[in-house]
DNA sequence: GATGAATGAGTGTTCATTCAT
DNA sequence: GATGAATGAACACTCATTCAT
């Protein structure tokens, strides 16, 4: 409540358009914040405005209505994540590497912005119907892309042919989601980097080789994915 | 408008207490229904009363307030599920059998009452804080029980010692949840028994042996779990 | 604010339905009141509730929304007036008698309920479009009925054939309306019965015989209309 | 969005004051337009600005606030009309000629600017109080001027002495208003010049000689008023 | 002067909860 | 117990007005 985004005092060189885009972003960010604290329905426009440090009415200057605002919250968060996942899928590596890459992306996102991830995890794809927010669309599209990947892996003989690819995809994201939920809900209280790394590895490993066949990580290295993709992810 | 669900007029031999318990159940059931259709916040007391065929105010005779009503919805659904899961865990079989048992329980519940499961899946553990319903509690308890089971399995040497048991537990339920979500969200459109059986088997198999090591089901049998536990589940 | 409709303390014999209808009427009456004081747009639900001495939300128990409430205000007032006018038209007397009858009805209504008439006069048929209240409909229907009457009078040779009947009708109501407006707006400050009677006679007389041909009322009698219709109007 | 109504770029010879007066007029005209379309309360500043093709805030450079803007709308329209009516009254002709002149002025105004007349007719003198626009003042002044005229006519013996002059005046404008309302509301659908002329004649004739004594126009001439005043009106 | 982003009070409507019958 | 009318706080959204550029 004390200080509101005092960071980066805007240089006078900013154009009006820049400042407007900024405002929009500030409001969006505030919405994510409030949203993650109070959930979809607990999120009142008044709170968002207060959090963003702007007047009530201004929210309506930038967003048609509450639904559009929240839709944007989802879209902006999801967009980012979705893009990275798609990039992993597109690498064309062995499916194991790609799975590891996807898991990596998800956990990195959490490390960077736990709040945002929480919102996405706890609200995306939920809310049964209700005329509201079309989160399902974005959600489905990740699932479908991953399912495509598994189908391809089956053609290449990398995974058994009898598996239903869509189910593989949902399970992958289910494992990731719940792995993260452990943190989000405080079931796994240590949120230090090492814990997150370990959880990430375990999720990938278990998903790939099963509970019974899971192997311990070769060393204490926290960023284990095979050579070629390591940098791109870490740098972004 | 006068009478709803007049079927099965209870014999007059019912005690007053019985009739009251009945009413309570009717209202609870109606709440589940409305809830699954409209979600937590879309669920208005008026709708529940209408669905149950009782007067507006009567809901408040049986439930202190909306939150208590919804809490009960969760509790009653969860209670059931939780009991069955605990029973599986208590069998003391090899962890693989117990995992299969748990998966089985979840999918059976879905087969029996998709609506109820939908509610549990789409709303449980979500909605961060908000003064509302303490679903987390029930949810956490299942996780913890399963984590206990995995810890024990590690002591017995059934699964690798380096795995974080809590994470194993969350992943298990994450896989199950997302497997069911596939149906709930219509990603897997076939809801026939065979499809559900196949999905169930795949979830258990992949969780146990991994994506790469998953083996096809030995035959077309749809209820594969090892001998001793089959009846109890099916009969209930 | 001190006393709220204390009149006619309801006997305990009233049925629930009776009391509800009463409430509805009380709210409607309050709406007329507020409406006449503040006009269509100045009329806030809160004010109506306060005026009626009921809770805010109760207004919405009886009326779907503000528009429906105001629509009802018009309808109820108009209905009454319209009925009486139609009755005059239906008498089949010479057109002069019927015109006098209509003027009589309008002025009587004003004498009985100046507030209500004010609302009707100042708001009916105005408000250009706006998705709002369909006052025009009711308004047009009186005009059309009167136009029919004039057409018939032309067939009978009671008035010149070259007159446009619709225009005669609008002029009749225009004269009446403005006559009343004189009172409503305070241009004619004396509101005593004698003044109202005199104004009424002058309106009828001028409309029928023109400014130049208007004859003074035969005597000081205030209820001049020819024999047959006098009682019915006065008694109602 | 950049430029609206760029047509007729004014020659640079215009003085600054001229350009400002122009702007003012453009905004006023836009206000009339929006006003006639949406009514007093439906008329938003934003709409006026858009209609005028100027920036939102500019309206506030020329008008202190919404009320002043609308007041000006009335004033400007009314001023014009009032002036012409006063001119008719001042002619000192026989009252019949003056009445015809006034009716003529009103119908001419409608022919020239139906929109503007609609606004005046449908909104003037309505909206009881409300802190808003003092239309009543302008309205009353016409009535009073006409009443003066009738008083004078009574002194001259042109009309019966028993008539209340104010009432004569309100009836005159009531007849005119409703005659025009027939057009405004579409009750009389033909808006061609001949129809308007006929309506005008009928209104004057009926008002002067009454429904029963109204005489048909001597010929098909559409501008019948007696010699001396015809030009002044038509030319303006 | 011209622009349109920013402000915030005002209002219609919903809905959980209470209570008289 | 059963009923549904009554209550009023809460909240989304609008729009006149101001002000920095």
Q: How many residues make up chain B in this entry?
A: 236
- Euclidean distance between CA atoms A54 and A34, whole angstroms: 14
- Euclidean distance between CA atoms C143 and C154, whole angstroms: 16
pLDDT score recorded for residue A133: 45
Q: What is the pLDDT of residues D57-88, one digit of tens each?
A: 999 999 999 989 988 888 887 788 888 999 99
* 3-class state of residue C39 by DSSP: helix
Q: Spell out the alpha helix ranges (H) of D91-134.
A: 95-112, 114-123
Contact predicate C171/D206, CB 8 Å: yes
Q: Is D29 exposed, middle or buried (0-12, 13-18, 19+ CB in 10 A)?
A: middle
SS3 string of A64-106?
CCHHHHHHHHHHHHHHHHHHHHHHHHHCCCCHHHHHHHHHHHH
- Euclidean distance between CA atoms A234 and A228, whole angstroms: 12
Q: Spell out the alpha helix ranges (H) of C156-184.
A: 165-184
Radius of gyration of chain B (CA): 20
Model confidence pTM above 0.85: no
Taking CB atoms and an 8 Å limit, are C164 and D188 in contact across chains? yes
Residue A147, token pair as written in the block: 């399912």
CA distance C191 to chain D (A): 13
Calculate the average pLDDT of chain A: 79
pLDDT score recorded for residue D21: 85
Indicate contact of D with B: 3+ CB pairs under 8 A. Answer: no
Q: Is the pLDDT of residue B160 over 60?
A: yes
Q: Which residue has the higher pLDDT, A77 or A46?
A: A46
User: Out of B46-55, C135-144, D160-169, which region has the weakest mean confidence (pLDDT)?
Assistant: C135-144
Contact predicate B207/A210, CB 8 Å: yes
Nearest to A66 by CA among A139, A121, A115, A132: A132
Contact predicate D102/D36, CB 8 Å: no
Residue D64, token pair as written in the block: 């202190």
pLDDT score recorded for residue A116: 80
Q: What is the pLDDT of residues A88-121, one digit of tens each?
A: 999 999 999 999 999 999 999 888 887 787 777 6
pLDDT score recorded for residue C201: 92
Q: What is the pLDDT of residues A151-185, one digit of tens each?
A: 999 999 999 999 999 889 988 988 888 888 777 76
Taking CB atoms and an 8 Å limit, are A181 and B160 in contact across chains? no
pLDDT band at A49 (very low <50, low <70, confident <90, very high): very high
Q: How many residues make up chain D in this entry?
A: 236
Q: Is the pLDDT of residue A128 over 60?
A: no
* Closest in D140, D181, D188 to C187, CB measured: D140
Which residue, chain included where needed, has tokens 């209202």?
Answer: B27
Q: Is the pLDDT of residue B156 over 80?
A: yes
Q: Is the CB of A94 under 7 A from strand E?
A: no
pLDDT band at D13 (very low <50, low <70, confident <90, very high): low
Q: Is the pLDDT of residue B131 over 70?
A: no
Q: Please report residues of B whose CB lies closer than 8 A to that of A127.
A: 39, 122
pLDDT score recorded for residue B235: 40
Nearest to B199 by CA among B217, B185, B213, B212: B217
A25 contacts: CB under 8 Å, gap ≥ 6:
none
Q: What is the pLDDT of residues C69-96, one digit of tens each?
A: 988 888 887 788 888 999 999 999 999 9
pLDDT band at D135 (very low <50, low <70, confident <90, very high): low
Distance from the Cα of residue D54 to its chain's centroid: 27
Taking CB atoms and an 8 Å limit, are C39 and D122 in contact across chains? no
pLDDT score recorded for residue A4: 44
* Closest in D41, D167, D187 to C170, CB measured: D187
Nearest to B199 by CA among B112, B77, B103, B129: B103
Taking CB atoms and an 8 Å limit, are B129 and A187 in contact across chains? no
Q: Please give the DSSP secondary-structure letter assigned to residue D10.
A: P
User: Out of B160-164, B168-172, B210-214, which region has the weakest mean confidence (pLDDT)?
Assistant: B210-214
Calculate the average pLDDT of chain D: 79
pLDDT score recorded for residue A193: 85
Contact predicate A225/A101, CB 8 Å: yes
Q: Nearest-CA residue of chain D relative to C183?
A: D167
Q: Nearest-CA residue of chain A relative to B199?
A: A167
Closest residue to E4 measured CA to C1′ = D56
* Closest in A163, A173, A215 to B202, CB measured: A163
The domain limits of chain C are 68-214
Chains near B with 3+ CB pairs less than 8 A apart are: A
Q: Please give the DSSP secondary-structure letter assigned to residue C91.
A: T
pLDDT score recorded for residue A218: 67
pLDDT band at B154 (very low <50, low <70, confident <90, very high): very high
Give the mean pLDDT of A35-58. Answer: 91
Q: What's the fold here for domain B68-214?
A: Tetracycline Repressor; domain 2 (1.10.357)
pLDDT score recorded for residue D229: 46
Q: Please give the DSSP secondary-structure letter assigned to residue D19.
A: H
Q: Nearest-CA residue of chain C relative to D147?
A: C187
Q: Which nucleotides of E are covered by protein (CB under 7 A)?
A: 1-21
Give the mean pLDDT of C152-172. Answer: 92
Q: Please report residues of B whose CB lies closer than 8 A to that of A187.
A: 140, 143, 166, 170
Contact predicate D166/D143, CB 8 Å: yes
The torsion angle over the Cα atoms of residues B165, B166, B167 and B169, rounded to 10 degrees, is 90
Closest residue to E19 measured CA to C1′ = B57
Which residue, chain included where needed, has tokens 């802190």?
Answer: D131
Residue D111, token pair as written in the block: 């022919």
* Closest in A122, A130, A178 to B42, CB measured: A130
Taking CB atoms and an 8 Å limit, are A178 and B177 in contact across chains? yes
pLDDT score recorded for residue A90: 94
pLDDT score recorded for residue B137: 65
Q: Please report residues of C whose CB lies closer than 8 A to that of D96.
A: 212
Q: Is the pLDDT of residue B222 over 80?
A: no
pLDDT score recorded for residue D51: 94
């Amino acid at each position: 409540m004390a200080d509101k985004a005092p960071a980066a005092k805007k240089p006078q060189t900013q154009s009006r358009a820049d400042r407007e885009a900024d405002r929009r972003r500030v409001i969006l960010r505030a919405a994510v914040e409030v949203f993650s604290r109070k959930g979809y329905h607990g999120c009142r426009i008044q709170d968002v405005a207060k959090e963003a440090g702007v007047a009530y009415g201004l929210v309506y200057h930038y967003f048609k209505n509450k639904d559009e605002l929240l839709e944007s919250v989802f879209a902006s968060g999801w967009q980012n994540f979705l893009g990275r996942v798609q990039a992993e899928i597109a690498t064309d590596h062995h499916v194991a590497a790609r799975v590891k890459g996807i898991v990596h992306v998800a956990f990195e996102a959490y490390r960077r912005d736990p709040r945002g991830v929480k919102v996405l995890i706890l609200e995306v794809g939920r809310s049964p119907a209700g005329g509201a927010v079309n989160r399902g669309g974005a959600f489905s599209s990740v699932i479908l892309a991953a399912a495509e990947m598994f189908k391809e892996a089956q053609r290449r003989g990398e995974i058994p042919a009898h598996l239903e690819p869509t189910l593989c995809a949902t399970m992958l994201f289910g494992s990731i989601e719940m792995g993260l939920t452990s943190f989000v809900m405080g079931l796994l209280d240590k949120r230090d980097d090492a814990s997150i790394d370990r959880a990430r590895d375990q999720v990938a490993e278990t998903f790939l080789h099963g509970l019974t066949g899971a192997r311990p990580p070769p060393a204490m290295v926290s960023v284990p994915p095979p050579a070629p993709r390591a940098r791109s992810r870490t740098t972004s």
